[in-house]
């Protein structure tokens, strides 16, 4: 993407910054740009074109992941929720050695989703 230089990154080939632009959350590495998801409500929190340290956007990105998982899982069991989160992760081509952090964010998000789904089941019963 224009305006993003490798010198802006802490370590070549690692996930250090997220670029928010044109209604897309883009994970930016020195190798490639991977679109995570179109999320107007999420990107509204950040000015378009702003480059942010990953730690600042991870909570919002995790919420986005959970939204996608909830929309697709429709109260599946915990294992299915986790599998769905990993599927979302893989679908956007961000699962590689250079972006290992993202897997951990998804794993944590899936754990939160599983706990939330268990609570919802208890309330429904």
Domain limits of the chain? 9-124
CA distance 42 to 60: 7
Quote the Cα angle for 94-36-44, to 5°: 150
CA distance 23 to 37: 9
Residue 3, pLDDT above cutoff 50: no
pLDDT tens digit sequence for 24-55: 344 333 333 333 333 344 444 545 444 444 44
Q: What is the pLDDT of residue 86?
A: 47
**Other C-beta atoms within 10 Å of 90: how many?**
12
Q: What is the pLDDT of residue 114?
A: 57
Q: What is the pLDDT of residue 1?
A: 36
What is the mean pLDDT of the segment spanning 1-10?
36
- C-alpha distances (whole Å) from 53 to each of 16, 28, 44, 82 are 6, 11, 17, 26
pLDDT tens digit sequence for 92-124: 444 343 344 555 555 565 565 556 555 555 554
Q: Does this model's pTM top 0.75?
A: no
CA 16 to chain centre: 13
pLDDT tens digit sequence for 60-79: 555 444 444 444 444 444 44
Burial class, 43, CB count within 10 angstroms (exposed 0-12 / middle 13-18 / buried 19+): buried
């Amino acid at each position: 993407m224009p305006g993003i230089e490798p010198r802006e990154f802490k370590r070549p080939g690692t996930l250090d910054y997220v670029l928010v632009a044109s209604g897309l959350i883009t994970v930016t590495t020195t190798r490639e740009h991977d679109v995570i998801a179109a999320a107007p409500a999420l990107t509204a929190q950040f000015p378009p074109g702003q480059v942010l340290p990953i730690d600042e956007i991870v909570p919002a990105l995790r919420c986005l992941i959970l939204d996608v998982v909830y929309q697709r899982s429709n109260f599946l069991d915990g294992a299915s929720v986790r599998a769905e989160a990993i599927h979302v992760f893989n679908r956007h081509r961000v699962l590689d050695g250079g972006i290992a952090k993202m897997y951990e964010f998804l794993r944590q998000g899936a754990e939160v989703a599983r706990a939330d789904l268990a609570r919802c089941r208890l309330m429904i019963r």
